[in-house]
Amino acid sequence: MIFEVFVAVLATWQIIEIWHHSLLFANLRARTELWENKLGEILGCPFCLSPWVALLSTSVLLLPTWLYITGWNIVILRVIWYAFAISRLANISNDLAHKVSRTPKPFEDFPTDHDWSSQEDLEE
């Protein structure tokens, strides 16, 4: 059960991050910010939205086990939530190891002090 709670925490965090920071939902986010009701307030505030996403995560991951609910729809939902959790864990790992695991930029070691545009170099 502790593992499921850990997965729910990571999945909730990732869903909130995707909603508030990805370009995928930018247009929808912009529209919901114009709503002058409680739902607009909740969707515009990550802290306000997180308990509701956590409730959804708990429902997806823990309730089926507690209530002995089975079926393909439950399996699919759990796989999606595990994918969110794994994605968040990968993002955390990338943030922690960013300085030591960066891909070098192309031509990073290429000398740049020579003026390659001079006519003399082209004639040789």
Q: pLDDT tens digits, residue range 28-69?
A: 988 988 888 998 888 888 899 999 999 999 888 888 878 788
The dihedral through the CA atoms of 69, 74, 77, 82 has a sign that is positive
Average pLDDT, stretch 71-77? 87
Parse the chain into domains and list their residue ranges: 2-93
Which residue would you say has higher pLDDT here, 112 or 67? 67
DSSP secondary structure, 57-113, as one string: HHHHHTHHHHTT--SHHHHHHHHHHHHHHHHHHHHHHHHHTTTTSPPPPTTTTS--S
Three-state secondary structure call for residue 34: coil
pLDDT at 116: 59
Average pLDDT, whole number, for the chain? 84
Average pLDDT of the residues in 64-83: 86
pLDDT at position 111: 62
Between 88 and 118, the more confident residue is 88
